[in-house]
Amino acid sequence: MPREDELAQTHVTLAGRSVGVWHIKDLDAFLARLLESHPHIPDDDIPYYAWIWPSALVLAECLLQGPPLSGVRAVELGCGTGLVGVCAALHGAQVTLTDLQQGALTLAARNAQGMGVTPRVTVQRLDWRNPDVPRAPLLLVSDVLYEARFAEPLAGAIAALLAPGGQVLLADPERPHLPRFVDAAREHGLAVEPGPVHTRDGATVRLYRVVYVDQPARMPPPWAVTG
């Protein structure tokens, strides 16, 4: 977890709403300090989660622009700062924020508290190789396919956690490993449907919907509905 003096709160405007997000102030400076003090730190322990990535901004805004989520149970996979899940909670959903790193969960809980949605949010450590939270009709995923080795575990976790008739909303900044995930998803009986493309903070982000091939989603993706 970054030190307190390495964190800052930024207010971003999403769908006309100001959302406060705690994050690392200077990612490059933080990584330089971390690698100097821990030169052999495993990649899995580097807290990239503590940055506001463009994909999270795009997916969070999409949720806030879509229909209300009152009463909808949602799970965010690889929540990082928790921005996406917190915005789902702001829009009415009951959200479980999950991540492998405890530091991410601590930061996500802080952001949920800051936005006043703690009653609608829980945090839970989750390993995609052993998914142990209840199935939900809405799964949220943003920019987690930054390594090829994540494609199969992500597809397996989605198949284990997505409720029948549910949908996954996934934002990806054109990572080269997305095709590997699409193939893995197909092996689990899932279809990956491309959605609209957005540009945010210089990054090109495409939204996708993932659904069961033989169980059509009961709801359209939010980008198909005007909120």
Per-residue pLDDT of the chain (227 residues; tens, 9 = 90+): 778 888 999 999 999 999 999 998 887 887 788 788 888 776 666 677 888 999 999 999 999 999 999 999 999 999 999 999 999 999 999 999 999 999 999 999 999 999 999 999 999 999 999 999 999 999 999 999 989 999 999 999 999 999 999 999 999 999 999 999 999 999 999 999 999 999 999 999 999 999 999 998 999 999 998 55
- 25 exposure class (CB count in 10 Å sphere: 0-12, 13-18, 19+): middle
Largest CA distance in the chain: 51
Phi, psi of 181 (to 5 degrees): -65, -40
Closest CA to 217 of 169, 171, 184: 169
Rounded distance between C-alpha atoms, residue 97 and residue 66, angstroms:
20
pLDDT at residue 45, rounded to an integer: 67
pLDDT score, position 207: 98
Query: Could you tell me how far CA 23 lies from the centroid of its own chain?
Result: 15
pTM of the model: 0.94
Query: Using the 8-state DSSP alphabet, how is residue 215 labeled?
Result: B
51-224 maps to CATH 3.60.10.10: no
Question: Strand, coil or helix: what is 9?
Answer: strand
Token output for 56: 């999270």
The domain ranges of the chain are: 51-224
Distance CA 215, CA 167 (A): 10
Q: What is the structure's pLDDT at 174? A: 92
CB of 24 within 8 A of CB of 2? yes
- How much is the pLDDT for 4? 86
Angstrom distance (rounded) from CA 9 to CA 144: 23
Please identify which residue in the block is written with the tokens 């993706």. Answer: 221
Q: Which two three-digit tokens encode residue 2?
A: 């970054």
